[in-house]
Chain A
Amino acid sequence: MTLIALISTRHEYDALFSVYVPIALGVFVVIVIVILAAVLRYRGRPPEKAARWSEHNGLEAGYALLLTATVAFLLYLTFSAEHRVDTVSARERPSLTVDVTAAKWEWQFSYPRYGITVRSGTVGRQPLVVPVDQAIRFRLASADVIHSLWIPQLRFKRALIPGATETVTLTFTNAGTFTGQCAEFCGLRHADMVFTVRALSPAAFASWARAGGRTA
């Protein structure tokens, strides 16, 4: 339906992760090999044999340039992804708005268009139900302390800070049942501030909404 693909935080994360990880592994392996090789090669020699040179500024400057280029490359990728996740997604036209209110120690998800409200945490286990492949605008507010909306499947979290309503636009690309949890320590029963996400096909979501939030 949409010509421009919706921004998926999961895809952005996975793409970036798949660049950062091999670079990190490569650097780790190279440095460990260099250190190990040097230790094996130069151990146990008499002290008089130790070399006296202690500088090579040209080599070091070249190395610093290589590091700078790597930093520039990683920042280019990160800035591009961050722009899509934070800025481009906010311009998407959402098909659904969900008001999220966090309080000690419960999540309240309201669907103003459908007059549905579900709650999860210490007060119950009603899932957050969402359609897949549609942009969803979440309006985030907290009633008391800082909480954090954390949906591992999306590789995304955002703090809910009392005193302001923040907006994020997220898209689920996989149908299924996922976990969600508060990721900012919020007091005694923080560990119980969990919820379930059910991502349904748009048709199944529509029938769920028509049924007033009773499980389809």
Chain B
Amino acid sequence: MRSRRSRSGGWVGALTSTDHKRIGVHLGLASFAFFLLGGVFAVMMRAQLAEPNGQLVSDNTYSELFTMHGSTMIYLFVTPMAIALSMYLVPLQIGAISIAGPRAALAGFWTWLAGGLIMQSGWLSADGAGRAGLFSPVPLSNGTNTPGVGQDLWVLGVILAASGMVVMAGCVLVTIARRRAPGMALLRMPVFSWTGLVTVLMVVGSFPVLIVAMILLYIDRHGANIYSGFSGAIDYQDLFWFFGHPVVYVMFFPYLGAAAEAIAVGANKRWFGYKAFVASVMAFAALSMSVWAHHMFTTGGVTNQYFAFTSTALVIPAGIEYFDVAGTLVGGALVLRCSMLFALTFFVQFLIGGLSGIFVASPVLDYSANNTYFLIAHFHYTLFAGSVFGFFAGVYHWFPKLTGALLRERLGKIQLAVMIVGTNLTFFPMFLVGEDGMPRRISRYAEHPGWATLNRLETAGSVLIAVGVAIFVANVWVSLRHREPAGDDPWRGHTLEWATSSPPPPLNYEAPIPPIRSYAPLLDLREEAADRERREREQAGAPA
């Protein structure tokens, strides 16, 4: 019944399909559209800041732009894209023919999309879109200080988007718990699926807190004085950041997993240190649920030393991951395709974000960096220079599986080069201007030695990033119009998704899946075949 419906054609059939692959692709496409929209907001902000005392947009518009840029990127692009990757790939990687709770997953997608559209519909309201910032602290975001329907739509949009994501993440979680193929023990799950597992665990563990915080904020905005006084302000921030820090790792893990798969396959070598890696992502996830108040060091309302301790301790699992990258590369047979190059760039650029993160984990250093462009540089190095590059690594790696067609390598390398220059030109000067004291979220800045030059560089970089993204869109267009057939397994993949057709059939596998003896079952088969061949050669060549 279900399979027949998912095969039914037409728009209605496609949009109501309960096939996890279709839901994943729809979620990914919608998220990517929001990425382009959020990017437009970013370039508009950079245009305003290109010169001191910019006059391009009003103060009010600027506050809508940064609120909606951050909200769009986090609630509507990086997080749902992380779930989209998990939704599409995890069932394939663990040998499941479908996702658990397919109708719930479909409902989750539509709920999330409704949330995104409601949030953006604020632009059409008389008061404009949400404008109290990405985390809309109280009392700024209450009905007195930010009145109007635009902010209400923002709150409702966050509630719906987060609810949809919890449901989708829950479906992936149950799929991992209940639908692994025979032989697919937890410790044989591919590296990407492990990152998907910790991601959905964190979504299920932390997003409900955001939903509650936002429901209370909505009620607060309509007359009930819920978040009152000093403690109300701190309570709101505790609730928000209890979501707000885990989500940082939700926006990191699947991209880490994608980059890891791209590197292992590109190196023709098993991912190094699998068990240590699994332990490190679990430790990462656990720690990241207990670091939230490092966003509140300057409030005087939290125990700074505890949160400095947990935040700095993240160095240990993060360091393990870098060790595993090096261990995978050493001794490999590397093919430097786009997926591999994006993945390597992900690790190098993310390192800048990670190392500057150790900085802001220290309260004394954060007393300076907090709410300055230093912080903006730090988290854009993790989210953009890191996660988005990991996302592209994943796209170049799995696009042939999704579509049956290869992306153009040459265009991909041009995109990579343009984006590396653009990204570092945009975000590195922010460290300098932030260290020099430029706060975030200001629509204008006075003449200040060096600031104009640095801001102009950042603006130029943001245009280059836009060019890079345009090259990517062109690449997808060209590659789908003039298809270069990929075959089932163009890269000598390691994991089960490469053992089925491209794109996979509705129930994922038509042939029986290969035996699963490790986290790289297809590599096992290749190694066994090579061993057999060598033995036969030796026997044939041995003197009689």
Q: Which residues of A are in contact with B by a Cβ distance under 8 Å?
A: 9, 12-13, 16-17, 20, 24, 27-28, 31-32, 34-35, 38-39, 41-57, 60, 63-64, 67-68, 70-71, 74-75, 78-79, 81-82, 85-86, 144-146, 148, 150, 152, 155-159, 161-164, 166, 179, 181-192, 194
Contacts and interface: CB of A to CB of B under 8 A. Distances in A.
Contact of B368 (A43, A64, A157): A157
Contact of B437 (A48, A52, A85, A150): A150
A12 B145 CA distance: 37
B223 interface: no
B351 A31 contact: yes
B368 A162 contact: no
B269 A150 contact: no
A42 B329 contact: yes
Nearest to B304: A82
Interface string B416-455: 0000000000000000000011011111111010000000
A18 to B, nearest CB: 11
Contacts of A146: 137, 139-140, 233
Interface stretch (B37-45, B356-364, B477-485): B356-364
B527 interface: yes
A145 B316 contact: no
A164 B139 contact: no
B237 to A, nearest CB: 9
Given A53-B331, A64-B316, A188-B60, A28 B355 contact: yes
B13 interface: no
Interface residues of B, number: 87
Contact of B319 (A9, A64, A157): A64
A44 B334 contact: yes
Given A79-B305, A146-B139, A163 B231 contact: yes
B359 to A, nearest CB: 6
Given A32-B348, A54-B271, A60 B323 contact: yes
21 contacts: A17-B365, A20-B358, A27-B351, A32-B348, A32-B351, A39-B344, A42-B329, A51-B269, A67-B315, A67-B320, A74-B315, A145-B137, A146-B137, A148-B298, A157-B368, A161-B299, A163-B231, A164-B229, A187-B145, A188-B59, A190-B442
A138 B253 CA distance: 43
7 tightest Cβ-Cβ pairs between the two chains A and B: A152-B437, A51-B331, A163-B229, A163-B230, A164-B230, A38-B329, A54-B270
Given A20-B365, A150-B439, A163-B233, A43 B334 contact: yes
Contacts of A79: 305, 308
Given A48-B333, A163-B230, 15 more contacts: A16-B364, A28-B351, A50-B332, A51-B331, A54-B273, A55-B272, A55-B275, A57-B273, A64-B320, A81-B362, A145-B137, A156-B367, A157-B368, A161-B299, A190-B443
Contacts of B177: none
A79 B365 CA distance: 11
Nearest to A193: B442
B140 A57 contact: no
Given A55-B275, A162-B229, A191-B443, A185 B329 contact: no
A82 B309 CA distance: 12
Contact of A35 (B231, B275, B320, B329): B329
Contacts of B139: 144-146, 162
A166 B59 contact: no
A20 B315 CA distance: 13
A148 B300 CA distance: 12
Contacts of B351: 27-28, 31-32
B348 A42 contact: no
Contacts of A85: 363-364, 367
A35 B443 CA distance: 40
A56 B333 contact: no
Contact of B320 (A60, A82, A161): A60
Contacts of A70: 315
A166 B312 CA distance: 27
Nearest to B144: A144
Contacts of A155: 367-368
Interface of B: 59-60, 63, 132-133, 137, 139-140, 145-146, 228-234, 267-276, 298-301, 304-305, 308-309, 312-313, 315-316, 319-320, 322-323, 325-336, 344, 347-348, 351-352, 355-356, 358-359, 362-365, 367-368, 370-372, 436-437, 439-446, 448, 492, 527, 530
Contacts of B231: 163
Contacts of A194: 446
Contacts of B442: 181, 190-191
B327 A56 contact: yes
A187 B359 contact: no
A145 B140 contact: yes
A192 B53 CA distance: 11
A164 to B, nearest CB: 4
B157 to A, nearest CB: 19
B273 A60 contact: yes
Given A32-B348, A190-B441, A42 B333 contact: yes
B71 to A, nearest CB: 14
Contacts of A54: 269-274, 327-328
A68 to B, nearest CB: 6
A26 B98 CA distance: 47
Contact of B268 (A47, A152, A179): A47
Contacts of A32: 348, 351
A164 B228 CA distance: 11
A64 B267 CA distance: 24
